Structure formats: structure tokens, C-alpha cells
Amino acid sequence: MRMRTDYCGRLATADEARAVTLCGWVHRRRDHGGLIFIDLRDVSGLVQIVFDPERSGDIHQTGHSLRPEDVLQVEGKVALRTPETVNPDLPTGEVEVNVTGIEILNRSETPPFSVEERTEVDETLRLKYRYIDLRRDEMLGNLLLRHQVVRTVRAFLDGSGFTEVETPVLTKSTPEGARDFLVPCRLQARKFYALPQSPQLFKQLLMVAGLDRYYQFAHAFRDEDLRADRQPEHTQIDMEMSFMDPAEIMSLLEDLLVGLFAKVNGAAPSRPFPVMTYDEALLKYGSDKPDRRYELPIVDVSGVFKATGFAVFAGALEGGGVIRALRAPGGGRFSRREVDELTQFAISEGARGLAYLFIREGLEVASPIAKFLAPDEVRGVIEATGAAAGDIIFFVADLAVVAAPVLGALRQRLAYELGLVRQGWSFLWVTDFPMFKLDEDTGEIVAEHHPFTLPTPETVEHLDSDPLLVRGSLFDLVLNGVEIASGGLRIHKPELQRRILAILGHEDHDMERDFGFLLEALKYGAPPHGGLAFGLDRLVMLMAGLSTIRDVIAFPKTQSGGCPLTGAPAQVDPAQLRELKVKTT
């Protein structure tokens, strides 16, 4: 005997008069005197089942006892609804099932929140009862979308000559960036495994092994502070390729994404995707992951004020800083209170203040700083920014490393407040990132991405003289202002890899201890190679039109790293710690 013959959400008019057996949950019940209507739900959707006392006999009383989320097995016949009762909003809205038999497979207590109603529910409560939360249409839809994305990506990569390989989850801690999650080893006391932050080194070794094209849906673990698009564990679509230059890698990934969006979202983005260098993105948009669904370009107006008598601007320039401007079209309607709020926002982002000019009719200006500016300076700023009557121009005068992110954050806020964000998909490749940066706390040189990146041919000559001028053969893919993929070419010669590690402060014995296995492998004919990794969670989040990756992960953690469902992380039995030779303090 089969428990069911059909799925609820797949019944149609072609099934009229057919006997069916369905299984599912009570979604809602409506008691209309003698008739009882129940929407029965399973993974495929809903169908209305009907308890008619004239047809159902004794089981009609069972219908009265049913409550939301009870689990049923139902036998009945499919019937067409009368025209006036057709539900056009339901895929099965033209049919119903007249119940002739029923078994209650399990009763449900009253759920802590409604599965049927679209009400706001506290997220901690949702995560504690995640198995109920996942019954809701939107959450189930998110997981089904994720499944479709994975299936489509896997099919593309399989058809493009890639081989799927799993790499270790218990591995060695190496100084690559974020903090590791550590796992004590019982068999070797006082030694630890690390959970992988990425499969970076193993996928490079697979290229040395001659695999040519590799991919993996890899779990990555990073012990870092959490936010809406970050979890302690996430899934990345990890890829590596031999004998391909950046343009070829980027083109292949565009093929993948165009096909993916066409199949899953029904609309393929146009290609080729625009390309912008890191320096251009930071100067024009104040971010290395700019959202280009709105323009609002940042303009450097330092030249306009090179001989200014305005002390604030002059002081910034004398101190090696810049003066950058951002025009907000239509921002002339802002009140003084709104401008003050924007000023406080800029200060919270790191600015010392925010100057501004209201542009009036006849290109007259109004502002507390207007009296300090020469007429040619005002004209120069208006020409540089393209401002018109009814606009407002904001200025930040500071070091470039301060002005860029402040105006980048302000640009984003203004775009939403002024309603300038266009619908649709805006892809952008950002290339030529710095290889190195100075650590804010120690002042030491550290890797911008990781220490295995190949320097660009144009800047490799600066490795010894000024490493901060060196750019990496790196490329990030940005979608609607969110970084969804990061990649680059890798170092494939051991001599260059040692030079990079030395610049980062590694002594010879440190190199051998931390990366000896990689340096050894590079001696044996490592091919030129590169690749990238997509954040699967972020990609699905954007495709679903959501703002947090927690809604596309079946069992995510809270912002404090906890799991309300299981209680993880939790204390363990002292006996387990003794076996591991570990003490807590």
C-alpha cells in the first residue's frame, strides 16, 4: 500500500473524478455548518479538501476535531469547484477533494506562531522553532530556490569540464586572515585541527596534481563578528582552473550567471559585465563594492580649491588630504534638521564634519560656508558635479582613506532617501586590488586578500621598494552593491611565494612550519592557475530579494553565534575534556 498517490499542490482539472490518497498538514479549517473545508498542505502546495456529511459519513465528525498542523492521510475523489468558488490565487484553485477516508497520523499542539498567517515573528522564536518556521510558504520557497540554484550551477560546471572534489574539513591552522575555529585532537595531545576558512590551499594542490578544473560546494568556517550577510559557517561555490587568464575566468563565470538567472529568475542579465579597477571604484563611488543601480558619482574637487581661503579646506589639502564632493539631485528640499542628521551620519562613519551647498535658482548658493568661498570656486564645483537648481552638494575634506568610505556610505543613504535606486540586476567586476595594506593596530604590512595572490605584471617591480604599490591579479564580482564572489590568479612559483611571505614578516622557519607543504608542491611543475569562490548564501539571498542570509539557510546562527534550536554552543561533559587533555579557565 502506498501512503499517498499524489502531491497536494499538483492536482488539476485533468484529475477530475480520480480517486487519490494525499498526506499533509492542516493549513487552515473553515466550518460552514454541515460542510467542513480544510486546506491540506505538503511541500508542493495546498489543495482544498471537503468533508460533506452526505458523502463522508462518520468521518465528518473527525473533520470537526482537526486543528492547524495536524498530520493527515486522506482518501477522496477529485471534483471541479463550481465557478463561483474557484480560487484564482491558488494553483489548485479549480479543484477540491471530497473526503471518503481519513487517518490522523499525528496530532499537533498549538504552534508558537502561525504557519498560515503572514505576521511578523521575533527572529529568535523563529530560530528556536525553525522546523515550524520552514513550513511557511516564503521559507520553504527560499530553500527550494537554493536547491534550484545549486542544481543549475552543478549542471553548468559538470558540462564545462569541471570535476567535483571534496577537500578536508579537519585541516591545519594557517595564518590566512580571519580567526580559525579549532578542534582539539584526542589522538595527539595538545595538537589541534582547524576548520577551513576556505579550501584555498587544497584546491591549489589539486591544480598541481593536474586536475585542470575543480569545483566544490564547500563549507567554510570563520570565527568573526556576525552581521546580516555573514555567518560563522557558510557555503561557497569554490572553483579553480589551470592555464586560464583573468579575462577567460571572468567570461566563464559570466556564462554561468547569465544561464543561472535566465533559468531561475526568468531574465538573463546583459553581458559583458562592466569592469572597474579598485582605485576607480573607491574614487568614484567610495566603495570597492559599489551599487551602480544609481549613479551619484563622487567627484574630487581638490583642484578647484587649491588656492582657497577657506581655512577648513586649505588645512585638509596642506595635510595631504583631499576635498571630495557628492551631488544629491533634488536634495535642495532637505530641511536643516535633515541636513544635521546627515552630518551626524557622516561623523558616525568617520568624518570630522560635513560641509554643504544648497543650489538655488540662478545657481545662487546658500550655506554657512558660502561666504568663505570665492565665486570661481563655487562655479568650479557646480561645473565639476553637474549640479543644478534644487540640488545640494556635500563635501568631505580629509585624507583620501577617510573621505572615500564616508562619502560612499552617504551616497548609499541618499540614493534610498531620494528614491534613486533602479530595479533589476547590476553586476560589476572590480579588479586590481592592492596586494597589501597596513594593519591599523600594528602598522605592519598584511595581505589584503591572502598571501597566495599573483602580483600584476605591471606592479610586481615594486615588491621590494614599496609593496603598498603592488596590485594583485584579483577580481571581485559585485551584484547590487554586495560582493558575491572573490577570486584571482595564484602564485605558482616557489621563489615568488617565498618573497611574498617574507614581505608579510614570515621567517624561513615560519614558512616551513605554516606553508611547507605548499612550497614543496610548487617545486614540482605547478601550472599557472586561478579561480574564485561564490558565496552561495549571499547569491541566493539576492535572487530571493531578501536582506539577510539567515532566511536562505535551513538552520542558521543568531548574531551572537548561537543556535536557539539546539542550544549550541554548549558546555561539554568534563570527561570529554579530560580525554582531549583540555582544561577551561
Q: Residues 294-311: pLDDT tens digits?
A: 999 999 999 999 999 999
548: which DSSP letter? -
Percent of the chain's residues with pLDDT above 90 = 88
What stretch of H or E contains 500? Answer: helix 494-503
Work out the average pLDDT over 180-207: 94
pLDDT at 176: 61
Distance CA 223, CA 148 (A): 29
Distance CA 238, CA 275 (A): 22
Q: Say if 216 falls within a structural domain.
A: yes
Domain match, 331 and 407 both: yes
pLDDT at 177: 66
Count the domains in the chain.
Answer: 3
Work out the average pLDDT over 58-80: 93
Which of 423, 422, 359, 363 is CA-nearest to residue 394?
359
Q: What is the pLDDT of residues 410-448, one digit of tens each?
A: 999 999 999 999 999 999 999 999 999 998 888 899 998
Q: Say if 31 falls within a structural domain.
A: yes
Q: Is the pLDDT of residue 1 over 60?
A: no
The boundaries of the domain holding residue 319 are: 294-421
Domain match, 411 and 441 both: no
Work out the average pLDDT over 239-256: 97
Domain match, 245 and 300 both: no
Residue 112: cis peptide before it, omega within 30 degrees of 0: no
Count the Cβ atoms, other than its own, within 10 Å of residue 120.
7
For the CA atoms of 444, 445, 449, 452, the dihedral, rounded to the nearest 10 degrees, stands at -130
Q: Is the pLDDT of residue 224 over 90?
A: no
Q: Say if 336 falls within a structural domain.
A: yes
Residue 527: CATH number of its domain: 3.30.930.10
Distance CA 20, CA 237 (A): 41
Domain match, 170 and 144 both: yes
Bin 474: left if φ > 0, else alpha if -120 < ψ < 50, else beta.
Answer: beta
Domain match, 266 and 156 both: yes
Boundary (domain end) residue, out of 421, 443, 475? 421
Work out the average pLDDT over 5-21: 97
Beta carbons of 77 and 20 less than 8 angstroms apart: yes
The whole-angstrom distance between residue 227's C-alpha and the CA centroid of its chain comes to 11
Domain match, 268 and 348 both: no
Which of 116, 114, 82, 79 is CA-nearest to residue 99?
79
Give every CB contact of residue 439 below 8 A, 6+ residues apart in sequence: 445, 446
Q: Is the pLDDT of residue 74 over 80?
A: yes
Whole-number average pLDDT of the chain: 94
Domain match, 248 and 298 both: no
User: Picking from 58-72, 421-435, 544-558, which range would have the lowest pLDDT averaged per residue?
Assistant: 58-72
Distance CA 100, CA 56 (A): 5
Handedness of CA 67, 68, 74, 79 (dihedral sign): positive
Greater pLDDT, 118 or 123: 123
Q: Say if 439 falls within a structural domain.
A: yes
Count the Cβ atoms, other than its own, within 10 Å of residue 92.
24
Q: Say if 580 falls within a structural domain.
A: no
Domain match, 167 and 249 both: yes
Q: Say if 366 falls within a structural domain.
A: yes
Give every CB contact of residue 44 below 8 A, 6+ residues apart in sequence: 7, 8, 9, 10
Grid cell for residue 457? 605584471
pLDDT tier for residue 263 given thresholds of 50, 70 and 90: very high
pLDDT at 56: 64
Q: Say if 118 falls within a structural domain.
A: no
Work out the average pLDDT over 84-105: 96
Residue 389: CATH number of its domain: 3.30.1360.30
pTM of the model: 0.92
Count the Cβ atoms, other than its own, within 10 Å of residue 24.
26
Residue type, 517: F
Domain match, 12 and 92 both: yes
Kindly report the backbone phi and psi dihedral angles of residue 3, in degrees, each rounded to the nearest multiple of 5, phi listed first. Answer: -70, -30
Domain match, 535 and 473 both: yes
Work out the average pLDDT over 140-163: 98
Q: Is the pLDDT of residue 251 over 90?
A: yes
Q: Is the pLDDT of residue 60 over 90?
A: no
Q: What is the pLDDT of residues 489-528, one digit of tens each?
A: 999 999 999 999 999 999 999 899 999 999 999 999 999 9
Residue 21: CATH number of its domain: 2.40.50.140
Domain match, 248 and 199 both: yes
Domain match, 535 and 443 both: yes
Distance CA 376, CA 378 (A): 5
Q: Is the pLDDT of residue 559 over 90?
A: no
Grid cell for residue 413? 543613504
CB burial of 386-424 (b: ≥16 within 10 Å; e: otherwise) equals ebeeebbbbbbbbeeebbbbbbbbbbbebbeebebeeee
What stretch of H or E contains 339? Answer: helix 336-348
Which of 43, 40, 28 is CA-nearest to residue 73?
40
- Partnered with residue 74 across adjacent β-strands are 22, 102
Q: Is the pLDDT of residue 61 over 90?
A: no
β 474-479/275-277 pair status: unpaired
Boundary (domain end) residue, out of 87, 106, 125? 106
Residue that the C-alpha cell 581638490 belongs to = 302
Q: Say if 135 falls within a structural domain.
A: no
- Partnered with residue 31 across adjacent β-strands are 36
- Burial of 272: CB neighbours in 10 Å, binned 0-12, 13-18, 19+: exposed
Distance CA 124, CA 229 (A): 17
